[in-house]
């Protein structure tokens, strides 16, 4: 079977940077930066980018392009069955992330509609499903909880899945067409928002707020774990998607230049977004409860609502930007999973995309379940949001780092890394030195192992299973159930997919 190829170099760059630039850049970065001492977050962030981000991106590009196979098959060429299993595990973990990521995108779509209809800009919204004294909740909180406690949000989530399917149904063809429209618009919208932010009276002080480091946080291991997880997530590493995208490249590719361009575009987008968000925070002296979702659905809309007269325009711009940025990311995982299944089982594309999407939709709906379990909103409000938070905890906090650890060990120890380096250098203007081998073999595994150890220790310090952070009402078993679902879904699924016999049809 003829493997697809990108139509142009720019198509690949746009698709790979589209995968990288997502919700992570626009809101998660600012939320993390705020939580971890604003400017002080830059230092761990830059260290994470250079020590782990760049080498792992080179590794994933190299592995995918060298064997021209999706991630599990390429890893299988290196590490046999274990390698293949790591590849599937990465994709399944990323599928969990995609499930709730698309749920969030469904909410972005819902909020976009509410900002067009004007509901988001009213002072308050009535929320009969919750127990508030006068039955109302101030905006933007009101609009958001009205959205996620209604079955409409399930409809929005399904719609976003439909957009995803349309964008991957023709593989690189439809992806290329999609990102060629979305990426320039995203940059434009982001620059407009930045301009609006820093030209607000005092807006430039947000810049200073972001640039004023609080170095005392650097001794906090959570800051470091936050920075490294953010780097994996924002650069789309540990998802298996960069390998899949690189497998559609011709062999004569300048991988180091591509890595610098993709990582550079991603991180500059992140900085610009950070400045725009911090300008809003500063001007309206908002103090965020630093969670990623609150930044997106509460803090930024709250700031925008104070732009008298133009709130609606900028609100629509902001949510459209989020939707495009998110879509160009989520399609990358659907494509990576699809190409892995096609490579293994020789299925046809359309049924494969549909199969992946049906599993994804079910997960996204679980994260959107509008059942109110916490009527006074002490915590998460709905069952869906609680499930979302729990899955995020396992798949994001631990999953991505684990994939990074496994891939570095397999490529570093079961394969001559120098051979991968020579391959990466073949057509590249900037040549990688021996530091690359040292980094993959020793430095990255050591860094990730210490982060994971730190994470597990702090988990114990906070007391029992993660669930202790939640007021779960009658749902106390939920954290355990989600941990099991994630572990069995990823490990069990990867085992089955590895051991199952591959399809022979169409095999040359
Ligand atoms: N890099 C994206 C971001 O910063 C996240 C992401 C990458 C992603 N690939 C993905 C999310 C696949 C879901 C599915 O937001």
**DSSP labels for 300-357?**
HHHHHHTSTTTHHHHHHHHHHHHHHHHHHHHHHHHHHHHHHHHHHH---HHHHHHHHH
* SS3 assignment for 108-167: HHHHHHHHHHCHHHCCEEECCCCCCCCCEEECCHHHHHHHHCCCHHHHHHHHHHHHHHHH
Query: Could you tell me the distance, in angstroms and rounded to a whole number, from the CA of residue 306 to the centre of ligand 1?
Result: 30
pLDDT in tens, 229-283: 999 999 999 999 999 999 999 999 999 999 999 999 999 999 999 999 988 888 8
Pairing of strands 136-138, 124-126: antiparallel
194 C-beta neighbours (distance < 10 Å), count: 19
Provide the token pair at 431.
């040549």
The length of the chain is: 508
Provide the token pair at 360.
């994804």
Query: Could you tell me the distance, in angstroms and rounded to a whole number, from the CA of residue 330 to the centre of ligand 1?
Result: 6
Query: Could you tell me the distance, in angstroms and rounded to a whole number, from the CA of residue 133 to the centre of ligand 1?
Result: 39
Which percentage of the chain shows pLDDT scores above 90?
73
Q: Residue 397 has what pLDDT?
A: 87
Contact between residue 386 and residue 478 where contact means Cβ atoms under 8 Å apart: yes
pTM of the model: 0.94
Query: Could you tell me the distance, in angstroms and rounded to a whole number, from the CA of residue 3 to the centre of ligand 1?
Result: 24
- Bridge partners (DSSP) listed for residue 138: 124
Pocket of ligand 1 (CB under 6 A): 19-20, 22-25, 94, 97-98, 101, 233-234, 236, 239, 241, 329-330, 332-333
pLDDT in tens, 19-55: 999 999 999 998 888 888 777 788 889 999 999 999 9
pLDDT in tens, 112-160: 999 999 999 999 999 888 888 888 999 999 999 999 999 999 999 999 9
The alpha helices in 214-310, defined as continuous H runs, are 221-234, 241-246, 255-283, 292-294, 300-305
């Amino acid at each position: 079977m003829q493997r697809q190829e990108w139509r142009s170099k720019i198509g690949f760059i746009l698709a790979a940077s589209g995968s990288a630039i997502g919700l992570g850049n626009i809101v998660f970065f600012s939320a993390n930066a705020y939580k971890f001492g604003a400017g002080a977050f830059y230092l761990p962030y830059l260290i994470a980018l250079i020590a782990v981000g760049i080498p792992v991106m080179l590794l994933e590009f190299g592995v995918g392009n060298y064997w021209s196979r999706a991630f599990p098959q390429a890893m299988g060429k290196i590490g046999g069955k274990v390698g293949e299993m790591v590849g599937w595990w990465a994709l399944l973990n990323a599928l969990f992330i995609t499930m709730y990521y698309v749920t969030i995108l469904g909410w972005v779509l819902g909020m976009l509609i509410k900002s067009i209809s004007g509901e988001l800009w009213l002072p308050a919204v009535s929320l009969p499903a919750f127990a508030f004294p006068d039955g109302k909740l101030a905006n933007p909180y009101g609009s958001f909880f009205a959205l996620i406690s209604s079955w409409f949000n399930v409809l929005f989530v399904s719609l976003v899945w439909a957009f995803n399917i349309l964008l991957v149904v023709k593989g690189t063809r439809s992806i290329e067409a999609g990102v060629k429209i979305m990426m320039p618009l995203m940059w434009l919208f982001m620059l407009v928002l930045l301009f609006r932010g820093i030209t607000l009276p005092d807006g430039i002080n947000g810049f200073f707020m972001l640039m004023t480091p609080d170095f005392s946080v650097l001794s906090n291991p959570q800051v470091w774990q936050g920075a490294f997880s953010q780097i994996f997530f924002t650069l789309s590493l540990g998802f298996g998607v960069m390998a899949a995208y690189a497998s559609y490249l011709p062999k004569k590719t300048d991988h180091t230049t591509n890595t610098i361009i993709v990582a550079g575009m991603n991180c500059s987008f992140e900085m610009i977004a950070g400045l725009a968000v911090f300008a809003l925070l500063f001007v309206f002296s908002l103090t965020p409860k630093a969670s990623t979702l609150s930044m997106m659905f509460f803090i930024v809309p709250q700031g925008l609502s104070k732009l008298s007269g133009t709130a609606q325009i900028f609100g629509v711009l902001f949510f459209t930007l989020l939707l495009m940025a998110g879509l160009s990311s989520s399609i990358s995982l659907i494509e990576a999973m699809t190409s892995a299944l096609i490579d293994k089982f020789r299925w046809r594309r359309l049924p494969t995309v549909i199969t992946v999407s049906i599993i994804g939709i079910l997960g996204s709906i679980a994260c959107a379940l509008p059942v109110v379990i916490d009527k006074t909103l002490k915590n998460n409000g709905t069952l869906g949001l609680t499930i979302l938070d729990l899955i995020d905890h396992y798949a994001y906090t631990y999953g991505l780092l684990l994939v990074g650890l496994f891939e570095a060990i397999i490529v570093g120890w079961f394969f001559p890394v120098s051979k991968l380096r020579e391959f990466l250098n073949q057509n590249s203007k900037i040549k990688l030195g021996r530091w690359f081998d040292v980094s993959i073999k020793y430095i990255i595994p050591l860094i990730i192992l210490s982060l994971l150890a730190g994470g597990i220790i702090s988990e114990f310090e906070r007391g029992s299973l993660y669930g202790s952070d939640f007021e779960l009402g009658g749902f106390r078993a939920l954290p355990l159930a989600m941990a099991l679902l994630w572990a069995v879904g990823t490990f069990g699924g990867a085992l089955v997919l590895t051991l199952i016999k591959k399809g022979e049809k169409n095999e040359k």
